[in-house]
A and B are shown apart, each in its own frame.
Chain A
């Protein structure tokens, strides 16, 4: 493993609050040292020209096309997209085909991640067999095999008793349950957030309250069971208010959101744009503003890519029939930095949401610049301008909801265990 000395970089480590110009030395795939000036070294030097050097990003929610949907994305193509965004650790959703409900599948996915050499894949285990919501999966065995947490992916655990059992049982194994917070009966058949726009377009609506209703129920179940609970891609003001209060009450409740929910509102689906059809659906502007506020005040613990690769045929359909989901890996850092440039989110806090905090939610050692820790690094130019173009992004999936969006801040290089994997 080649050694490397980063010079003239802005070191940012959200876990320790570090933000200063300096240098960082990589030796044997590990961070050997970092500081304002490291003195002489024999290692080859890389002049960062003032770019930010931060921990490799931790994406706590992404769907891989494998197994079962290789036409949408492969692990190799997802790893390329991840590296382009500085992501070096990724938690993969289990609602694949087959679902990740068997310990052997967990081991397989971890091994496939190692084979990429650029991306650690931490598989979620299914909460229920096949993610069908009926019988509990072997949470203990899955955990032992290395499942990072448990979820049924895009499917909400709708049955209250099942959710209670899962929270209660997983607690015994120190595992967190991750919920897609959307009441399934209220969301059934819906394609857009209920309201004026959906009415005008004649699209079946999902009331925004479908999110708050499940969040309220599950917070109560977390209280009942003492279980650890995480809400994925939270998108409404009302749900965020409930989560904020649960945290104040001392419950072990965490949540993430995804860039579309703080960068776009429902008008992005205007004229039936299926690339902006997501699950949960995009919301009115007031909800988007509430998500921005919750990023700033710490209610939201993480920003995840919520990567849902789709191919063109999944999307070239009448809106209600098109498959929901957006590609998110390649734009994760760029769109999050838009909050820094355009909305006053402190850079340190933004990067915290992409590194140390998701690592803490998942209970993993990643997302920090620690001496003797793995040299998973992201070097990015905070000011470099680029434009999102669907079909030209790294990875296989063309379905970005951000097509045409101009962004400020681009990755210059990504390193996994000291090896350059992007740039």
Chain B
């Protein structure tokens, strides 16, 4: 197993063998999960804390399930019930968790870099479950696993990431991962939602779905938050859907066997049409969720190894 790091804070900086070995391990957990078995001895007696400063259903549940299937004691701390609302700083929280001798700390935070800050202060392994507009590494890993299982390899795939790239940590992690693993990546969206420096990340930039979807193997849709409309970055949901929402007509511009992905939760009728989201020929959205649990089991396994056998 080639994963020499103490934490998983970002995809940027990981090397292809590190990513590949995480995916290989996750693959084995897919089989385990499908067999209905668990491996509860692996993390028995270890504590996993889900520290979520932002609402999340699927990511938190996915980590919780992953931890439990490996036998860890899982504790969920969310912002509404913890002392965070009483003004405790992130680092005070870190000190508290340290004193409780937590082994694995899964963090979601609305600020970019918050997990990096925590990682400097806690003795547990820190897993970034999404920080601000920075990265969401386990999402990129589960997307990659989904694609690799469907297509056999990531090498040479043409992937279009569509929508609010500017504010998307999913997009950043995917751009780094797919680029590292030999995919060609396009980003498509209105200029107000594409970072000015997008091209410097090694992607091709499109502002037109027809041109951008031409010949792609994979379309990754991103969630558009209502707040972007309020801040005037796009005029309205219906205008957005007209030009950037994925429906069957737009999907026809891609390769016939194109795969459609979405990190969830979806805004049906805003960035994606229900007919596409639910189309079993193209949509692998349900499979992404399944892969999510396996990928997180692999990450928990790897990051707890140093503590398990020295």
Contacts and interface: CB of A to CB of B under 8 A. Distances in A.
A155 B239 CA distance: 37
B89 A316 contact: yes
A317 B200 contact: no
Interface string B130-152: 01111100000000000000000
Given A201-B134, A202-B133, A202-B134, A318 B196 contact: no
Contact of B113 (A196, A205, A207, A272): A272
Interface in B191-215: 195-198, 200-201
Contacts of B111: 318-321
Most chain B CB within 10 A, of A200, A207, A313, is at A200
Nearest to A194: B196
Contacts of A318: 90, 109, 111-114, 117, 132
A200 B172 contact: yes
Most chain B CB within 10 A, of A195, A198, A271, A318, is at A318
Interface string A182-210: 00000000000011101111111101000
Nearest to B91: A316
A165 to B, nearest CB: 30
A321 to B, nearest CB: 6
A96 B122 CA distance: 36
A194 B112 contact: no
A168 B132 CA distance: 44
Contacts of B169: 202
A203 B166 CA distance: 10
B267 interface: no
B135 A196 contact: no
Contact of B132 (A196, A202, A205): A202
Contacts of B196: 194-195, 199, 205, 207
A204 B132 CA distance: 10
Nearest to B131: A202
Contacts of B135: 202
Contacts of A196: 197, 200-201
Contacts of B155: none
B12 interface: yes
A316 B94 CA distance: 12
A200 B112 contact: no
Contacts of A199: 172, 195-198, 200-201
A272 B197 contact: no
A195 B197 contact: yes
Contacts of B76: none
Contacts of B12: 200
A321 B195 CA distance: 21
Given A194-B197, A196-B197, A202-B131, A319 B113 contact: yes
A200 B133 CA distance: 9
A114 to B, nearest CB: 39
A205 B89 CA distance: 24
Contacts, number: 69
A238 B8 CA distance: 39
Interface string B95-139: 000000000000001011110110000000000000111110000
A319 B196 CA distance: 21
A275 B289 CA distance: 39
Contacts of B132: 202-203, 318, 320
Given A201-B134, A202-B172, A272-B117, A317 B90 contact: yes
Contacts of A272: 112-113, 116-117
A84 B172 CA distance: 45
Nearest to B12: A200
B197 A320 contact: no
Interface string B170-200: 0010000000000000000000000111101
Nearest to B173: A202
A313 B91 CA distance: 10
A271 B117 CA distance: 9
A320 B90 CA distance: 14
A320 B112 contact: yes
A286 B116 CA distance: 28
A207 B196 CA distance: 9
Interface in A294-342: 313, 316-321
Contact of A203 (B90, B112, B117): B112
Contacts of A200: 12, 172, 201
Contacts of A205: 195-196
Interface in B56-97: 89-91
A182 B133 CA distance: 24
B128 to A, nearest CB: 11
A319 B112 contact: yes
B169 to A, nearest CB: 6
A188 to B, nearest CB: 11
B286 to A, nearest CB: 28
A316 B201 contact: no
Contacts of A313: 89
A366 to B, nearest CB: 42
B117 A202 contact: no
A277 to B, nearest CB: 11
A195 B195 CA distance: 8
A191 to B, nearest CB: 8
B13 to A, nearest CB: 10
Contacts of A320: 111-113, 132
Contacts of B134: 201-203
Interface string A50-74: 0000000000000000000000000
23 contacts: A196-B200, A196-B201, A198-B197, A199-B197, A199-B200, A201-B112, A202-B132, A202-B133, A202-B169, A203-B132, A204-B133, A205-B196, A207-B196, A271-B113, A272-B112, A272-B117, A316-B91, A316-B117, A318-B111, A318-B113, A319-B113, A320-B112, A320-B132
Interface of A: 194-196, 198-205, 207, 271-272, 313, 316-321
Given A199-B198, A207-B196, 18 more contacts: A194-B196, A194-B197, A195-B197, A196-B197, A199-B196, A200-B201, A201-B113, A201-B134, A202-B135, A203-B132, A205-B195, A272-B116, A316-B89, A318-B109, A318-B111, A318-B112, A319-B111, A320-B132
9 A-B pairs closest in CB distance: A202-B134, A318-B111, A272-B113, A202-B133, A202-B112, A196-B200, A196-B197, A199-B195, A318-B114
